[in-house]
């Protein structure tokens, strides 16, 4: 079956940067998937932080103020999330997710309900 495995989470001081990776396995047409990153602080609801479609078009919530960048390398079956100028409120478990691309996927790409396959997540902790 399809599996998503995240890596790159760490403890970092405020203002620092991290790059998360998500490797997709068990799928022969990775480039056909629409992908997204979500985060869930302990005890809180999960929220979308980035999404990317088959044409490598990216979507972000305005609340991130341009600090995160999502990208994908279909040849390596890998999704990335570059995080800069990290703040303590970014502390959360970050998970990648995949979904079947549809013509209107972009309208709800940052909603957890659109995801069909989830990774186990990687912890990011930002200290002040």
Confidence at 1, pLDDT banded by 50, 70, 90: confident
Q: Rounded to an integer, what distance in angstroms lies between the CA atom of residue 77 and that of residue 98?
A: 12
According to the model, what pLDDT value does residue 75 have?
86
CB distance 108 to 100 below 8 Å: no
pLDDT at 30 over 80: no
Q: What letters, b where the CB count within 10 A reaches 16 and e where it falls short, cover 77-100? A: bbbbbebeebeeebbbbbbbbbbe
* pLDDT tens column, 59-112: 999 888 899 999 999 888 999 999 999 999 999 999 999 999 998 898 999 999
Mean pLDDT check: name the lowest of 3-7, 101-105, 117-121. Answer: 101-105
Mean pLDDT of 113-125: 96
Give percent of the chain above pLDDT 90: 81
Taking phi over 0 as left and psi of -120 to 50 as alpha, with beta for the rest, 28 belongs to alpha
DSSP 8-state code for residue 109: T
pLDDT over threshold 90, residue 28: no
**pLDDT for 40:** 98
Strands ordered across the beta sheet of 3-7: 3-7, 18-25, 78-83, 68-73
Does residue 29 register a pLDDT over 90? Answer: no
Closest of 43, 34, 42, 38 to residue 107, by C-alpha:
34
């Amino acid at each position: 079956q399809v599996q998503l495995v995240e890596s790159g989470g760490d403890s970092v001081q405020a203002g620092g940067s991290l790059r998360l990776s998500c490797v997709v396995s068990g799928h022969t047409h990775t480039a056909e998937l629409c992908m997204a990153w979500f985060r869930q602080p302990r005890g809180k609801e999960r929220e979308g932080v980035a999404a990317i479609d088959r044409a490598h078009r990216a979507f972000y919530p305005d609340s991130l103020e341009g600090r995160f960048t999502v990208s994908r390398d279909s040849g390596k079956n890998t999704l990335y999330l570059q995080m800069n100028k990290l703040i303590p409120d970014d502390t959360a478990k970050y998970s990648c997710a995949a979904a079947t691309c549809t013509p209107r996927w972009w309208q709800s790409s940052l909603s957890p309900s659109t995801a069909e396959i989830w990774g186990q997540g990687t912890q990011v902790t930002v200290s002040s």
